[in-house]
Amino acid sequence: MIIARSNPWLVCPRPNPQAIFRLFCFSHAGGSAMAYRAWAEKFPPSIEVVSIQLPGREDRIHEPLFTQMEPLVRAVAQALLSSLTKPFAFFGHSMGAVIAFELARYLRRLGEPAPMLLFVSGHPAPQIPNTQSITYNLPEPEFIEEVKRLNGTPKEAFDYPELIQLMIPLLRADFEICQTYAYTEEAPLDCPISAFGGYEDQYVSRESLDAWKTQTTSSFIARMLPGDHFFLHTSKIYLLQKIAHDIHRLIGLGV
């Protein structure tokens, strides 16, 4: 099955009907499906990469933004159901990690196919209370300074005020999703969880990454990679190797 672009939620840069496994990828706050477009070229042909395109970015720029986790997860689930036709995993970085986690739990509640493996990257375990300040509603000058501090937006972008003005509503909406997210306790997932963190990430400690272990009754592994919060760019090759390794081990293609 080739995932058609007629579904605006799904971007499949290299459709591969022969793949036996599908990896759905969720981006960080302010990010888009573009973050994963190069991944498809790096994986073996057994794995097809599908990026999730949330409203308000790229070709969906004029669609209303989500500001709360629960309705976003429900919408993503409805968009994905027809594509859960082969074994699959979720990968999410930062905000995307929580979306992937909550989506896995939501699919379980619906009795729909569940991911065989959950990859979480750059985010503390969801049960750990968020102690960071609320910033999504800051006045614009302070909000822009906060965005700069997080180092997730290319520095060159701040040289173009028109571009920043386009990005601010999206960033505010995504920050609101993250900063108003409220974890509710449920039974742990039964799929393995693989967690990734950056050695220099000042927002996600190894301890908070290890705490993801309580969210599964299956196997768990945490790996630290060189880099800050956006180590998935600076350590991409190693990250993709480990993702492919974990998938192949799970489906019996060796290590």
In a domain, 203, yes or no: yes
In a domain, 16, yes or no: yes
Task: Tell me the CATH number at 197.
Answer: 3.40.50.1820
In a domain, 190, yes or no: yes
In a domain, 47, yes or no: yes
In a domain, 244, yes or no: yes
The count of domains in the chain is 1
Asked if 179 and 228 count as a contact pair (C-beta separation under 8 A), the reply is no
In a domain, 226, yes or no: yes
In a domain, 155, yes or no: no
Query: Which residues lie closer than 8 Å to 35 by C-beta, 6 or more apart?
Result: 25, 27, 28, 51, 93
Q: Which domain holds residue 61?
A: 10-128+185-251
In a domain, 167, yes or no: no
pLDDT, position 99: 98
Q: What mean pLDDT is predicted for residues 242-254?
A: 89
Q: How far apart are the first and last CA of the chain?
A: 27
pLDDT, position 149: 79
Rounded (10°) angle between helices 95-110 and 69-80:
60
Helices (H) and strands (E) in the chain, counts: 8, 7
What mean pLDDT, rounded, does the chain reach? 92
Q: What mean pLDDT is predicted for residues 7-16?
A: 93
Encoded amino acid at 19, one letter: A
Q: Over the stretch 143-170, which tens digit does the pLDDT of each residue have? A: 888 888 777 676 777 777 787 888 899 9
What is the token pair recorded at 196?
């990734």
Q: Which residue has the higher pLDDT, 17 or 223?
A: 223
Residues marked as catalytic: 94
Q: What mean pLDDT is predicted for residues 213-242?
A: 96
**Does residue 181 register a pLDDT over 50?**
yes
Q: Over the stretch 113-135, which tens digit does the pLDDT of each residue have? A: 999 999 999 999 999 998 888 99
